Chains A and B, each alone.
Chain A
Amino acid sequence: MKTPAELKYTKNDEWIRVEGDIAIIGITDYAQDQLSDIVFVEIVALEGDSLDQGETCAVIESVKAAADVYLPIGGEIIAINESLMDSPELVNEDPFGNAWLIKVKMSDLSQLESLMDADTYQKLERDH
């Protein structure tokens, strides 16, 4: 399972890439593998919405499950990945790259401290 070292992670299998005060969010390689073939991605927030940490921002649907994605950091949604509408399989193919879900302008940078680093996340996976 790939776990890029420069990213942050949550126990709900989301990854976060931090660029200044913008957080880019997606789901991990482990998550897409667990879900298997993804058939639909629904991003429930709109650009301009403000969401709190922990609110559902997306639902990722495969043939076996429909998993909620919880916003790891609260803030204003500045971009959503529209290409996932037509190509949900990108989440399986490129979970850390082209299958980013949402970009958030973080409202409280201290929330970053609640995230785990790559090593901690990898150790978690084995206990799943």
Chain B
Amino acid sequence: MTEPTIFELSRPGRKGIRFPAPDVPKTALPETFLRDELPLPEVPENTVIRHFTNISQLNHAVDTGFYPLGSCTMKYNPKINEETARLPGFSQIHPLQPVVTIQGALGLMHEAQQWLAEISGFDAVTLQPAAGAHGEFTGVLIIRAYHLSKGETQRTKMLVPDSAHGTNPATSTMAGFDVVELPSDERGNIDLEVLKAELDDTIAGIMITNPNTLGLFDENIVEACQLVHDHGGLVYGDGANMNALLGIYKPAHMGIDVMHFNLHKTFSTPHGGGGPGSGPVGVIKELEEFLPAPHVVKVNEGDENNPDFYDFVIPKNTIGRMKSFHGHFGVVVRAFTYMLSLGKNGLLDVSQSAVLNANYIQSLVKDVYNIPYERLCMHEFVTEASWEDAPGVRALDISKRLIDFGFHPPTNYFPLIVHEALMIEPTETETKESLDAFAEAMLQIAEEAKNNPDILHNAPTKAPFGRFDEVKAAKDLILRTQLPDDYGK
């Protein structure tokens, strides 16, 4: 069922909200600057509420069903986080208020930094980056600044595994590096021989993800980091897969020098249809001076009579600011609420359960779905979704058929190194029944692929919409509501 757009629901003269009349005398408006037309819709509040309520119901979400989107960590988003983020003392404060009036906010940020540092083993954490990709950019700029501070201007290359998320090479290019791609070995690890061959003093560093994008803990990680360090390079860690490591292993102990976290993945803040995220970055001591400005520190330790005092500082050799103000404070409040609610045992339980759930599903489907690297997985696993006796059936078709069973499909076609990849990440908040139902659907679909492939090719048939014509969308390029010439008149 197609919903009209808000523009199509508009009727001239309708109003959604009133403001009070001015309580001050009016000043003459600047005639030469006044705009002629403002082609916005005119709808009453009832229409707005009905419209957005109706279209919301066309969405699958974590709150409506299982969402095993690999590498996105679609865990349950606790509702108490929404309450704390909305407390007026958090939501109504201006970012440029005098520091004495917002000690609660700075204290919360400082404590959140400490928690992330303790969880990961890093010495300092910045909360400024707005998302994972933004955190990556921050970290790669820190690496660049570090080498320049040592006069090493010849380090112009960044090593990136072929299994890496696309943001990794894109970020390196934005920072001015040339990207050198490293193939993985047959067990899905960094190939140490290839790495040794590439390492010299023109390499600034390597961007790694561990557990890697195949959901596997890289068996060579400690040695790989050591090799990079031996050649004067630094190691960047993409922390997207932290959900496997809480209380299990600290990334800094692998040899990672700088790493971003995704609060909207590991730390339960809602995905919101594509954001907002938050990508804090942790660094080892040697890199603290390069952190983005401003940075929150505790200036004075309090005592029984005085509270601790917090303020902003400009790190000595800062790379600069990554955005306006201080970062996504509203998202940090949600993540901090989550961390406090879990505590040390709760965090360990998250990773243990996440890894348990992923291995459980892998075990249930592995006889039918090809798992390219036969090992215990971590919090997610990748399967190659094609069979010789089901020609023409691809990962895309299996995904669309899963929709008919009420599930959101897993991640498709990533990582690029696995043919017809489906990446499955159940997360720790799913019940055993939920996992069983999903595995059963996967097995049934495998059967259908061989005996009745048309069901897959025509899927989904039970969703509000069928498959969309993406070619038409790219060719026609209609990116906004087309309005008739007499619109609003």
Closest Cβ of chain A: how far from B408's Cβ, in Å? 21
Contacting B at CB under 8 A, from A47-67, are 61, 63
Residue A37, interface by CB 8 Å: yes
- A39 contacts partner chain B, Cβ-Cβ < 8 Å: yes
Residue A70, interface by CB 8 Å: no
User: Within A10-57, which residues are at the interface with B (CB < 8 Å)?
Assistant: 37, 39-40
The CA of A51 and the CA of B347, in the complex, are separated in Å by 57
In the complex, whether B475 has a CB less than 8 A from a CB of chain A is yes
Closest to B471 in A: A37
Chain B residue numbers with a CB within 8 Å of A39 are 471, 474-475
Q: How far is the CB of B460 from chain A (nearest CB, A)?
A: 19
Q: B406-434: which have CB < 8 Å to A?
A: none
* Interface: B470 (CB within 8 A): yes
A88–B475 Cα distance when bound, in Å, is: 9
Interface positions of B from 462 to 489, Cβ below 8 Å from A:
470-471, 474-475
Chain B, Cβ-Cβ closest to A61: B474
Q: In the assembled complex, how far is the CB of residue B399 from the closest CB belonging to chain A, in whole angstroms? A: 15
Interface range on chain A (Cβ under 8 Å from partner)? under 10
In Å, the complex CA distance between A37 and B474 comes to: 10
**Residues in B neighbouring A40, C-beta threshold 8 A:** 474
Interface size class of B (residues with CB under 8 A): under 10
Q: How far is the CB of B476 from chain A (nearest CB, A)?
A: 10
In the docked arrangement, what's the CA distance between A35 and B106, Å?
A: 51
Q: Which residues of A contact B475 (CB under 8 A)?
A: 39, 88
A40 to B475, CA, bound (A): 8
Q: How far is the CA of A88 from the CA of B471 in the complex (A)?
A: 12
**Which B residues touch A61, using CB under 8 A?**
474
Chain A: CB-nearest residue to B476: A39
Q: Which residues from B are CB-within-8-Å of A88? A: 475
Kindly state the separation between the CA atoms of A61 and B471 in the bound complex, as whole angstroms: 11
Question: For residue A89, which residue of chain B has the nearest CB?
Answer: B475
Chain B CB within 10 Å, residue with most, of A40, A63, A88: A63
Q: How far is the CB of B126 from chain A (nearest CB, A)?
A: 33
Q: How far is the CA of A61 from the CA of B473 in the complex (A)?
A: 13
Of all chain A residues, which has the CB nearest B470? A63
- A39, A40, A61, A88 — which one has the most chain B CB atoms within 10 A of its CB? A39
For the complex formed, measure the closest distance between the CB of B2 and the CB atoms of chain A, giving whole angstroms.
22
Q: How far is the CB of A88 from chain B (nearest CB, A)?
A: 8
A8 to B471, CA, bound (A): 31
In Å, the complex CA distance between A61 and B474 comes to: 10
Residue of B nearest to A40 (CB): B474
Chain A hits for B470, CB < 8 A: 63
User: Distance (Å) between the CB of A38 and the closest chain B CB?
Assistant: 9
Which residues in B have their C-beta under 8 angstroms from that of A63? 470-471, 474
Considering only residues 65-95 of chain A, those with a C-beta below 8 Å from chain B are: 88
Q: Nearest chain-B residue to A37 (Cβ)?
A: B471
The smallest beta-carbon distance between B469 and chain A, in angstroms, is 10
CA A37 to CA B472, docked complex, whole Å: 10
Q: What is the minimal beta-carbon distance from A109 to any residue of chain B, in angstroms?
A: 31
Please report the C-alpha to C-alpha distance between residue A61 and residue B470 in the assembled complex, in whole angstroms: 13
CA distance A72 to B475 in the complex (A): 29
The CA of A37 and the CA of B475, in the complex, are separated in Å by: 10
B413 → A minimal CB distance (Å): 9
A37 / chain B contacts, CB cutoff of 8 Å? 471
Q: How near does chain A come to B211, taking the closest CB pair, in angstroms?
A: 27
Q: Please, how many angstroms separate the alpha-carbon atoms of A64 and B475 in the complex? A: 13
Docked Cα-Cα span, A123 to B370, in Å, equals 30
Chain A positions within 8 Å of B474 at CB level: 39-40, 61, 63
B179 CB to closest chain A CB (Å) equals: 14
With both beta carbons as reference points, the residue of chain A lying nearest to B473 in the complex is identified as: A63
**Minimum Cβ distance to chain B for residue A42 (Å):** 13
Chain A min CB distance to B400 (Å):
16
Question: In the complex, what's the smallest C-beta–C-beta distance from A84 to chain B, in angstroms?
Answer: 13
A39-B471, A39-B474, A40-B474 known; 7 new pairs, CB 8 Å cut-off, are: A37-B471, A39-B475, A61-B474, A63-B470, A63-B471, A63-B474, A88-B475
Shortest Cβ-Cβ A-B pairs, 6 listed: A39-B474, A37-B471, A63-B470, A39-B475, A63-B471, A63-B474
Which chain A residues have a beta carbon within 8 Å of chain B's beta carbons?
A: 37, 39-40, 61, 63, 88
Write 10 A-B pairs (CB below 8 A) sorted by A numbering.
Answer: A37-B471, A39-B471, A39-B474, A39-B475, A40-B474, A61-B474, A63-B470, A63-B471, A63-B474, A88-B475
